[in-house]
Amino acid sequence: MEEFNGYQITMTLDENQLWCYHQAISKAHRNWPGGPPEEQEMLHFLKTQAETMILEIQFMRS
């Protein structure tokens, strides 16, 4: 699924920014209008990664 396009981007987010990122990706995935299936797969991947990070934060708090 991952294809190297010559660029790598690193994001640094605080907890609130991560939550907003997750909400935006989730909405984009839920309302995906169609197109290349790789795009939908990438949205699902990004959503899952954001959910994993949110769960890790919750685990570290407990």
- Listed in sequence order, the residues at least 6 apart from 46 whose beta carbon sits closer than 8 Å to its beta carbon are 25
- Note whether residue 10 is domain-resident: no
Question: Does pTM surpass 0.95?
Answer: no
Query: What is the span of the domain harbouring residue 42?
Result: 36-62
- Note whether residue 6 is domain-resident: no
Q: How many CA atoms lie within 13 A of 60 on its CB side?
A: 7
- Note whether residue 2 is domain-resident: no
Q: How many domains does the chain fold into?
A: 1
- Note whether residue 1 is domain-resident: no
Q: What is the pLDDT of residues 19-56, one digit of tens each?
A: 999 999 999 999 999 999 999 999 999 999 999 999 99
- Note whether residue 47 is domain-resident: yes
User: Which tokens in the block code for residue 40?
Assistant: 């939908």
Q: How far apart are CA 25 and CA 46, in angstroms?
A: 7
